[in-house]
Structure 1
């Protein structure tokens, strides 16, 4: 699935996005609003430390739709569990979040998926 420059540009500009994923138990579409983050030259979904239904859904069904203004992109979630990669990404993200807990807390307990555009 090739992503146009227009799609990348739209994703660069838009931090608040909506995603539609498949429910892990119901198999039905689930849509939610969230923030996308940029770190290490890539795009990510994450959240404060703790269990998240959206993360469990993406683990079960990694293909999802990323909704941008006037553009719906079929994408894939790549869960990040490697401690070194998590440290790299969160090391760039967490300092930009004035409401975030400690970096160590995020590395240990926050969901993290890369948005794979193509």
Structure 2
């Protein structure tokens, strides 16, 4: 699959991500900030009690929707430090967010320390 299909969405603020509930087994849709890195869409989880993150860990099959365009794929937790930093750079450049004192999350912690997921898409 060519990255060209993702290029048209890079400037969008959010996308919808459908995960399968780890307890309920039902579809759950969450609107998330995202980045595009190569042929993957990436997400940073900002809070420890994040259902979409727990759902992706339990069942990596997801659907990502950009309005009328939806694609199925598989999520993976990014653990390699250099890849994590590159994703943080992309997300930090895209989103001008100063952090959230209410949840104790600084911008730098969100950009470079919080868990990251990358979705690789199924062939069309």
Same fold, TM-score > 0.5, yes or no: yes
TM-score (norm 2): 0.72
Aligned twin of 1:90: 88
TM-score (norm 1): 0.75
Once the two structures are overlaid, the 10-residue window that deviates more, 77-86 or 90-99, is 90-99
Unaligned runs of 5+ in 1: none
Q: Deviations over 1:25-54 (max 9, x none)?
A: 111111111111235775311132433110
Q: How many residues align?
A: 114
Unaligned runs of 5+ in 2: 100-105
Counterpart-to-counterpart distance in 2, 1:82 and 1:4: 22
Do the aligned partners of residues 3 and 72 (structure 1) sit closer, same or farther apart at CA in structure 2, a change above 3 Å counting?
farther
Counterpart-to-counterpart distance in 2, 1:83 and 1:51: 23
Counterpart-to-counterpart distance in 2, 1:82 and 1:48: 18
Once the two structures are overlaid, the 10-residue window that deviates more, 36-45 or 65-74, is 36-45
Do the aligned partners of residues 3 and 69 (structure 1) sit closer, same or farther apart at CA in structure 2, a change above 3 Å counting?
farther
Counterpart-to-counterpart distance in 2, 1:52 and 1:114: 16
RMSD (CA atoms): 2.6
